[in-house]
Amino acid sequence: MAHLTSAEAADLLERFRHYLREHRLPVTQQRDLIATAIFTAPDHLTAAAVHQRLARQGKRIGIATVYRTLDLLVESGLIRLHEFGDGFRRYEGAAPQGSHGHLVCGVCGGVEEFTNERLERMLPIIADEHHFRYRTHRVELHGTCRACQQRTLEGL
Partner DNA sequence: ATTTTTGCAAACGGTTTGCAATTAC
Partner DNA sequence: GTAATTGCAAACCGTTTGCAAAAAT
Residues that bind a second copy (CB under 8 A): 81, 83, 85, 101, 103, 105-106, 112, 114, 116, 118-119, 122-123, 126-127, 129-146, 149
Give whichever of 10 and 123 is closer to a second copy, judged by the CB atom. 123
| Cα distances (Å, whole numbers) of residue 78 to 9, 27, 83, 145 | 11, 15, 17, 28
Q: Which of 86, 127, 80 is nearest to 99 (CA)?
A: 80
Closest approach, Cβ 33 to a second copy, in A, equals 25
Smaller CB separation from a second copy, 23 or 142: 142
C-beta of residue 44 within 8 angstroms of C-beta of residue 90: yes
- Site track for DNA across 4-23, x = CB under 7 A: ----------------xx--
Binding residues among 69-128 for DNA as defined by CB under 7 A: 69, 71, 87-89
In contact, 99 and 120? CB cutoff 8 Å: yes
Instruction: State the minimum distance, in angstroms, from the CB of residue 18 to DNA.
Output: 11
Question: At its nearest, how many Å lie between a second copy and the CB of residue 118?
Answer: 7
- Interface map 136-155 toward DNA (x if CB under 7 A): --------------------
Q: What are phi and psi of 139, to 5 degrees?
A: -125, 125
Residue choice 15, 43, 65, 120 for contact with DNA (CB under 7 A): 65
Total interface residues for DNA by CB under 7 A:
26
- Residues 6 or more apart from 88 whose CB is under 8 A from it? 46, 48
CB 80 within 8 A of CB 91: yes
Find out whether 137 and 98 touch, Cβ atoms under 8 Å: no
